[in-house]
Each structure stands twice: as structure tokens, then as C-alpha cells.
Amino acid sequence: MHDIIQLLPDAIANQIAAGEVVQRPASVVKELMENSIDAGATAIQLIIKDAGKASIQVIDNGLGMSETDARMCFERHATSKIRKAEDLFSIKTMGFRGEAMASISSVAQVELKTKRAEDELGTLIKIDASVLKTQENIACPQGTSISVRNLFYNIPARRNFLKSNPVEIRHILDEFQRIALAHPSIKFSLVQNDQETYSLPPEKLGKRIVDLFGKGYREQLAACEEDTTYVSIKGYVGKPEHAKKTRGEQYFFVNDRFIKNSYLNHAVMSAYERLLPEGAFPFYVLFLSIDPSYIDINVHPTKTEIKFDDERSIYAIVQAAVRKTLSIHNLIPSLDFESDVNFNAPTRSFVPQGNTQNTYKPKPIQDAWKKLYEGLQNNIDAFESQAPLSQETLFASTGNPEDEPKTIQSKANQWNYEINKPNGFQVIQVLQKYLAISMADGLLVIDQKRAYQRILYDQFIENLSKKNGAAQQLLFPKIIHINPADQILLNEIHTDMIDLGFRLEIDAEKNLSIQGIPAGLGEEDGQVLLEGILEQLKHEASDLTAHRHEKIAKAMANRSAARFQQRKLNPEEMNSLIGQLFASSNPNYSPNGEEISQLLPEMSLKNLFS
């Protein structure tokens, strides 16, 4: 039998490595810009064409390379960052694996121009799919310019997996923003399709945040700083009132390297406990400085995951630093300085035995029932004087014949009211959040916010499909500044926004003017609504071209229905809501897949009093 194990050619081995290192154009941007930072550059320019699919170019004024180094940098595991295994635990550079340039050059056409300060001439190297095409001396400025063209041109299957241009651009912007945040002392610029998107001069971190994300962030930043013998923390956290409904603007940097760590994110969120509404996420940019020997960054090829030798202590220090910042800026009432702070095992504070001042005492169940029935008699009186319901808003079911009387009894309020509506059901609002309908076999409870989400979703889907959304002209147009990431997304969905009823104009300074909003939204704040939609959509992981209308309609419905979460409805509004809900495409579930109603069987109600 013949031997079957063979050594793979370098070109194939590089393509395999590229599968881990180069996942999309944004991966190339990250690797090239980090190389420029390691080269000591003080100015870095990123030039993108066709969302990086056609061309990615990074130009820096760093140290440059010799002719030999320029050729060697394209070999696998060729690096200037480490020399021995022990160096892995003292890494202070962005790169160290020696795989990026070899991987990139195996799946694209690469042109490298580089020159050191002491050299009269620089070096030009051209490589196509790991094959050297050209190497010669040329005249060029100090530093390095790397151009990557036709990414994945030799692997069509990989290229087909790339998303639409707006999606790939957003990933590139994410990488650019992370690197620009990590190094505010470096000048950065971004040019895409011959238009300058960012021009960031060297500045302090706070100014860099404002330049990247918009002027509105100036008001929400609170400086966070903590020094210990183990780790130092610096950065900014956002004020609770500016928290958003989606993740995406939470940044952790360890020794100036962006990382993803759900454990540390939980530490920050726990510091905001009871300060944020449900489902809201604060903005933060936090830098951790720690001895490299205490961490391991050789965990994943993308180097965004690291391990700490004492992660629980890091958790407690981060949590304490954020809580201290929130307290200093009067964002929380006070801190319990008598609680036991254990950096080795973060725990919740507790009330010692014998201290009855703040001891929780459950309210008698009778109080809860009194609150439940508050205002119920008034609702019934209003219903009794109400005119008969119209045929369009009344419903019957096989379980509830139209001529069957319905009885609601309440011992707490000592009243007995007979509902005998031959054409429909009576509706009662509870806690300004729910609608209750007495049925033959129990009580049907409807979440009014979710019901509005379903109704509005169907309405917006129809407007998008028919392109006939009516606009409500604003008396005073709203002017807002829109950052480049949002601008890209808005360009993609601009036609859909017009179909929904938005009237938008953008001036040369990238200021967005909201001239009108979809009719029927009442006094809805156009800025809050539009920013909320963009915020929800721009962090979508999947391609917006697939089911884009559904995603836009869902975002619109979620934002618009928020005002109905706790609102008193009059009888006409309640009946109209029920009518529209049961006439919708799916009365049982909201666009988010949540149940809209629950039927409480008669037996369940009886068990409450057994």
C-alpha cells in the first residue's frame, strides 16, 4: 500500500490559516492597522473601495522595513514580536503570531511599498495568491503602504459568503472605531469610495469618543478611574438615562487591545443595577492596564479573547470602579460602605440580622387585591353608559356564543354586574397595562403593548409593500447629527423610510433634517423614533437584504408601541384595539415571538381562593 499522509504545500496551508485569521474584509483591516501601530506610526490612513472587496489600503508613517524584512513578512510564522516561548507571556504588541500577512497574501493580490528612514530607496513587492510576482527598489516616503485587492478572488466559495456592501462596511467601521478608540494619540483617517468618512487628529480619549460617535455623547460621559496594585482602570461610562435598547457600544480594552468578555460585561451591568430600565444597555469604554504575565492572549487567532489568572478579582475591581464613578457623578443615591467588599469573590450586600430598619416585609395579599380592583367600578360604570358596540369591533367564538350572558363578580368591591351584550364582549383595563375579557371558560388577559406591536407591525408591512405610507409634516423640522455608521445604514434603508412616511433630508455637513414622520404616530418624537430604529438595525448580525422589510417594520413597531406600555385607554380605544388585534395576521404572537394573550381557566381562578 502507498503512503497516504502528505505535507501540504505552503499555499494550501496559508489558505487554511486564512480561514481563521481572514474571515471578511474587516479582518484584513484589523490586521493591517495593528501592524501599523506596532511599527510606531503616528498617522494611519485606511482607504476602502467596494466595502473592501475590491481594495483595502493602509498607509502609515511607521518605521518601515528593510528589503529582506519586506520579503520575510509574507512567510508563515515570520514575526518581529517574539523570539521564544516565554515571550508569549510578556507581549505588549498587537500582533505576534506571524500568520496575518501570509494568510492575507494567500487569498488576495497584495502590493507592499515600504521604506526605512535610513534607506535611500524603498522596496516594492507584489504577491498573488502566495506567489511572488515582483520585487524591486522604488522611491517612496518613509513608512509602509499595503494594498490588498480582490479579496478571496481565488476562492469563489468564500467570496460568495460575504454579505452586502453596507453590512461589510459596518464591520469595517466597527474595527476602525475600536482601533481609533484604543489609540487616541494617533491620527486616523478613513476614505471609502473616494469620500472621507473620518478624519481624527491626535486627541484625548473623551474627544475621540465624541468625534467617533457624535456630539450627543459629550453629555453622557462620566470619567472612570481606579488604580490598584493588580490592575489599573481608566475610561468613561455612560449615564443611565442615555442607555440604549441594543448592545454594541460596550468596549473593553486590555493593554490597548480590544477584547470580548461577557464576564466583565456582567460586572459593569451589575454596577448599574436598578439604574437602568429592563432591556437597556449603557455605553462604556474602559481600559484595563495589567502586567502581561497575568494574562494569556494566545487563545484565539483573532486575539479578541484573553484569559486572566484571577478573573474574579478583575470582576470585583471593575464593578467597584464603575459604581464609584456613578456615585461621584450623583447617578446613584449612595453606596453601602459598610458592606463587605471581597475582591476574591464578589457578593451582594445584605442586611445583618437584627437590623429591622430596612427589612423587607411582604404586604398583605388583601392590599394587592385592593390595588387590582382600584378603578374597576369606574370602568364598569363607563361601560354601562356606553353605546352599543359596532359590528366592526365585536367578536364571538364557539366557546362564547353571542347570546350567552357573562358574569363578573367581585367580593372585594361588593358589586355584581351582568354583561349581556348580544353582539360582543366587554373589555376592562387592568393596571393600565392589560386588557381583561370575561369568557365562558375563564378570563382572557391581553398585553396591550404587545397587541399594539402586532397591529403596528402589520400596518408598517403593508405600507412598505404598497409604498403608500402617509407622512405627518412637522411644524418645526428636527435637525440631528448622524455618525458615519448610521449614515451608511440610513442610505441603505432610505427608500423604505420614505415608504413608511418619513421625510428626511441630509445636508453637506451630514446633519439629518427630519421634515415629517409617519402619520398616526401622534406626538411621537421623530428623532427618538429614527435613532431607535437605526440603533436596533445597525447591530443586526445578518444581512439586511434578507427580509429587510420585516426587520424594519419590527423595529418601527417596537419603538412606536413603547408609548402604549402603560397608558390609560378609554372604552372606544380598548374596543378598537381588540378589533384590530383579532383582525391582524397573527393575534396570538407579537412580531418578537412573544405571546400577546393568556387565558386563565375558571379552575385556575377558583384555585386562587381555595
pLDDT for 205 beyond 60: yes
Query: Could you list the residue range(s) of the whole structural domain that residue 320 is in?
Result: 207-328
In a domain, 248, yes or no: yes
CB 450 within 8 A of CB 594: yes
pLDDT band (50, 70, 90) for residue 96: low
Residue at 576 is within a domain = yes
Res. 157: pLDDT tops 90: no
Which residues, including other chains, have CB under 8 Å from residue 399's CB and lie 6 or more apart? 439, 440, 441
Confidence (pLDDT) at 376: 41
Whether 476 and 590 map to the same domain: the answer is yes
Band of pLDDT at residue 354, cut at 50, 70 and 90: very low
- Domain end (from 155, 187, 202): 202
Give 53's pLDDT tier (boundaries 50, 70, 90): very high
Phi and psi (nearest 5°) for 366? -65, -35
Highest-confidence segment of 127-136, 344-353, 545-554? 127-136
Supply the mean pLDDT for the chain: 77
User: What is the 3 state secondary structure string of 4-52?
Assistant: CCCCCCHHHHHHHHHHHHCCCHHHHHHHHHHHHHHCCCCEEEEEEEHHH
C-alpha cell of residue 483: 455618525
| 349 falls within a domain | no
Give the DSSP per-residue string, 496-515.
HHHHHT-EEEE-TT-EEEEE
Tell me what pLDDT residue 84 has. 53
34 lies in the same domain as 178? yes
440 has pLDDT over 60: yes
Angle subtended by helix axes 448-466 and 484-500, to nearest 10: 80
Distance CA 314, CA 336 (A): 20
In angstroms, what is the C-alpha Rg of the chain?
A: 31
Domain boundary among 156, 171, 202: 202
The confidence score (pLDDT) of residue 404 equals: 37
d(CA 101, CA 28): 9
Are 472 and 558 found together in one domain?
yes
Mean pLDDT confidence for 378-394: 40
Q: Look up the CATH number of the domain holding residue 184.
A: 3.30.565.10
Which residues, 6 or more positions from 519, have their beta carbon under 8 angstroms from its beta carbon? 469, 470, 471, 472, 501
Instruction: Indicate whether 211 and 186 sit together in one domain.
Output: no
Same domain for 473 and 387 = yes
Quick one: average pLDDT of 166-172? 87
State the Cα–Cα distance between residues 57 and 110, nearest whole angstrom: 10
Q: Is the pLDDT of residue 380 over 80?
A: no
Residue 126 lies in a domain: yes
* 132 touches 125 (CB < 8 A): yes
Here the CATH number for the domain that contains residue 301 is 3.30.230.10
Residue at 442 is within a domain = yes
Is 400 within a domain?
yes
Number of domains in the chain: 3
Look at residue 483 in the predicted model and tell me its pLDDT: 73
> Taking 90 as the threshold, does the pLDDT of residue 474 lie above it?
no
Find the range with the poorest average confidence among 266-275, 290-299, 419-428, 531-540: 419-428
Judge whether residue 264 has pLDDT over 80: yes
Of residues 476 and 176, more confidence is placed in 176
Question: What is d(CA 573, CA 282) in angstroms, rounded to the nearest whole number?
Answer: 35
- Do 370 and 508 lie in a common domain? yes
Smallest Cα–Cα separation from 54: which of 108, 115, 96?
108
Residue 416 pLDDT: 28
Is 595 found in the same domain as 499? yes
| Mean local confidence (pLDDT), 439-451 | 86
Name the residue with higher pLDDT: 227 or 387: 227
Burial class (CB in 10 A: 0-12, 13-18, 19+), 607: exposed
Per the model's pLDDT, the better-predicted residue between 418 and 211 turns out to be 211
Task: Supply the pLDDT for residue 89.
Answer: 55
| pLDDT of 231 strictly over 90 | yes
Q: Residue 529: inside a domain, yes or no?
A: yes
Q: What is the CATH number of the domain that holds 469?
A: 3.30.1540.20
Of the two residues 89 and 507, the one the predictor is more confident about is 507
> What is the predicted pLDDT for the residue at 346?
42
**The pLDDT of residue 18 is above 80:** no
Burial (CB count <10 Å: 0-12, 13-18, 19+), residue 176: buried
* Mean pLDDT within 457-484: 81
211 shares a domain with 196: no
Tell me what the mean pLDDT of segment 39-58 comes to.
94
Same domain, yes or no, for 182 and 211?
A: no
pLDDT of residue 166: 81
Percent of the chain whose predicted confidence (pLDDT) is above 90: 29
Residue 158's pLDDT is: 82
CA distance 525 to 536: 17
Do 398 and 421 share a domain, yes or no? yes
Of 328, 352, 370, the last residue of a domain is 328
407 has a pLDDT exceeding 90: no
Same domain, yes or no, for 452 and 488?
A: yes
- For range 521-528, the mean pLDDT: 68
Give percent of the chain with pLDDT exceeding 70: 74
How many residues can be counted in the chain? 610
Residue 1 resides in a domain: no
Q: Say if residue 194 is in the same domain as residue 211.
A: no
Tell me what pLDDT residue 402 has: 41
Per-residue model confidence (pLDDT) at position 129: 87
